[in-house]
Amino acid sequence: MAEDWANRDDEAEASARLTAVREALHDSNAEALEALLEPLHPADIADLLEQIGQGEREQLLTLWRGGVDGDLLSEIDESIREEVIDFLPDDVVAEAVRELETDDVVDILEDLDEPNQEKILGALERADRVAVERAMGYPEYSAGRLMQREVVVAPEHWTVGEAIDFLRGSDTLPDQFYHVILLDPRMKPTGYVTLGRILSAARSTPLREIIEDSYRTVRATDPEADVAYIFQQYHLISCPVVDENGRLVGVITIDDAMNVLDEEHEEDMLRLAGVGDESSIQDGVFDTIKSRIPWLFINLLTANISALVIGQFESTIGQIVILAALMPIIASMGGIAGTQSLTIAVRALATRDLTVSNAMRVVRREAAVGAINGLSFAILMGLAGWLILGLPMLGVVLALAMVINLCVAALAGILVPLALDRMGFDPALASGTFVMTVTDVVGFFAFLGLATVMLL
């Protein structure tokens, strides 16, 4: 059994391996390094490169001369790829990229600066360079950038037997393919057949009788997020890409779609937290600061709005100082409640479960939830104000402020992302700050305002 598991990337094993690699680097022992890295999948070597510091990384790349290939460059995280390509000798990079399929070259190229892009384009053979440049001509984050140009096609009138003979006679099939795409005489795809069906059907069966129900195409200019959505919604394995005239220009496979899905999720999560989209655990101090300062700064401005609101009630606080201790409770409960509805809304917008059609129902539900949660905590706070602090009217103020703020929080949590989405903005990007500002301002204002009216 052990041999089946030798490749398995287990965390303890990865950590022991990293220690061994560091030792080999320390001893400048090229043989030991080779023995450690050679059996690994490029994805695991890339992870290893990401986990060591820049100095060690350069040492490793120098000591492990023969090891860098196209697959490894593809697997390395964007956050350190530029650095690695800058460091590697030009001929190593050139040889590495020449091995890759064009979609992988495009993927690498996208995140590089101009001189490095030139370096890589210059290394490619003419036909590949033209293909890569054409792909780079499609908008960033579009299907055209994701697709591979290597496709397996057959005329739509062929039979299973003709397709098998053609496939078995062909010596230029791509490494990985799962479907044969049927083309009409004008090069427009009309369906596709899985290899499994081709292998199990009778030779005389017309291909068009065994095409897949789930067949769909995307346009080269479609956003990659839509492509990922289609793969997930319809359980696709591959999807033909067509140009504006409906002619086949390439194919996208599910592993690319899975990557996009993962990136979209990451982006939503980082944006919700107010961190730059492309932040990564590998970033240096400077990049990290750059990605975090903007939202800290915006928060500073919005926090000052809250401070201004509180400032209006200075004389109330001066007379009943305990209000200062209690007011953050109201504000922070609103913040939590707002974040809760907000997260559900952002997620539902991303998965297209929240649409114009059901928005009103969801808004009504949020209002009800806000009111009921508000009342529950209002009773708790009211009792606490009365029994613990011995001030029944303070209890009433706390309770009313809590109801008001939780209702506002629930509604802001759903209405702010919906509005941003309608206006064409990414709801994950700015919702958090908006909603927190609303709940802080409303929380402080309601609590201190009620206190001024009812307690003074």
Contact call for residue 456 and a second copy (CB under 8 A): no
Stretch in the footprint of a second copy (CB under 8 A) among 27-35, 59-67, 121-129, 436-444: 436-444
**Which of positions 58-77 make contact with a second copy (CB under 8 A)?**
77
In terms of DSSP bridges, do strands 189-194 and 179-183 run parallel, antiparallel, or are they unpaired? antiparallel
Contact call for residue 322 and a second copy (CB under 8 A): yes
Contact call for residue 142 and a second copy (CB under 8 A): no
Q: Considering only residues 68, 124, 345, 399, which one is a binding residue for a second copy as defined by CB under 8 A?
A: 345
Q: From the CB of 395, what's the least distance to a second copy, in Å?
A: 14
Q: From the CB of 28, what's the least distance to a second copy, in Å?
A: 20
Contacts with 74 (C-beta within 8 Å, 6 or more apart), sequence order: 42, 100, 104, 107, 108
**Which of positions 151-180 make contact with a second copy (CB under 8 A)?**
164, 167-168, 170-171, 173-178
Within 142-237, strands assigned E span 153-155, 179-183, 189-194, 218-219
Rounded distance between C-alpha atoms, residue 432 and residue 295, angstroms: 10
Q: Which is nearer to a second copy, 126 or 235 (CB)?
A: 235
Contacts with 177 (C-beta within 8 Å, 6 or more apart), sequence order: 150, 151, 152, 195, 238, 251
CA distances, 333 to each of 89, 148, 266, 433 (Å): 56, 50, 27, 15
Contact call for residue 32 and a second copy (CB under 8 A): no
Q: Considering only residues 62, 117, 205, 214, which one is a binding residue for a second copy as defined by CB under 8 A?
A: 214
Q: Scan for tokens 């104000």, then name that residue.
A: 385
Q: From the CB of 3, what's the least distance to a second copy, in Å?
A: 9
Contact call for residue 274 and a second copy (CB under 8 A): yes
Q: Which is nearer to a second copy, 28 or 176 (CB)?
A: 176
Within 243-296, strands assigned E span 248-253
Q: From the CB of 62, what's the least distance to a second copy, in Å?
A: 21
Pair of tokens at residue 247: 């002619």
Q: Considering only residues 15, 26, 118, 155, which one is a binding residue for a second copy as defined by CB under 8 A?
A: 15
Size of the site for a second copy (CB under 8 A): 137
Q: Which is nearer to a second copy, 36 or 331 (CB)?
A: 331
Rounded distance between C-alpha atoms, residue 226 and residue 139, angstroms: 14
- Contact (Cβ atoms closer than 8 angstroms) between residue 324 and residue 317: yes
Rounded distance between C-alpha atoms, residue 66 and residue 64, angstroms: 6
- Contact (Cβ atoms closer than 8 angstroms) between residue 77 and residue 84: no
Q: Which is nearer to a second copy, 128 or 256 (CB)?
A: 256
Nearest to 443 by CA among 271, 294, 310: 310
Contact call for residue 268 and a second copy (CB under 8 A): yes
**Which of positions 351-380 make contact with a second copy (CB under 8 A)?**
352-358, 361-362, 365-366, 368-369, 372-373, 376-377, 380
DSSP-assigned letters across all residues of 31-73: HHHHHHHTTS-HHHHHHHHHHS-HHHHHHHHHH-GGG--HHHH
Contact call for residue 284 and a second copy (CB under 8 A): yes
**Which of positions 225-244 make contact with a second copy (CB under 8 A)?**
230-235, 237, 242
Contact call for residue 296 and a second copy (CB under 8 A): yes
Contact call for residue 181 and a second copy (CB under 8 A): no
Q: From the CB of 75, what's the least distance to a second copy, in Å?
A: 9
Alpha-helix residue ranges (DSSP H) falling in 312-391: 314-319, 322-350, 356-387
Neighbour-count burial of 336, counting CB atoms closer than 10 A to its CB (0-12 exposed, 13-18 middle, 19+ buried) = exposed
State whether residue 260 is helix, strand or coil: helix
Q: Which is nearer to a second copy, 377 or 434 (CB)?
A: 377
Contact call for residue 4 and a second copy (CB under 8 A): yes
Nearest to 263 by CA among 223, 228, 233: 228
Q: Considering only residues 44, 95, 150, 162, which one is a binding residue for a second copy as defined by CB under 8 A?
A: 44
Q: From the CB of 173, what's the least distance to a second copy, in Å?
A: 5
- Contact (Cβ atoms closer than 8 angstroms) between residue 272 and residue 343: yes
**Which of positions 297-316 make contact with a second copy (CB under 8 A)?**
299-300, 303-304, 306-308, 310-311, 314-315
- Contact (Cβ atoms closer than 8 angstroms) between residue 83 and residue 282: no
Q: Which is nearer to a second copy, 138 or 377 (CB)?
A: 377
Q: From the CB of 177, what's the least distance to a second copy, in Å?
A: 5
Q: From the CB of 89, what's the least distance to a second copy, in Å?
A: 27
Contact call for residue 208 and a second copy (CB under 8 A): no
Q: From the CB of 286, what's the least distance to a second copy, in Å?
A: 9
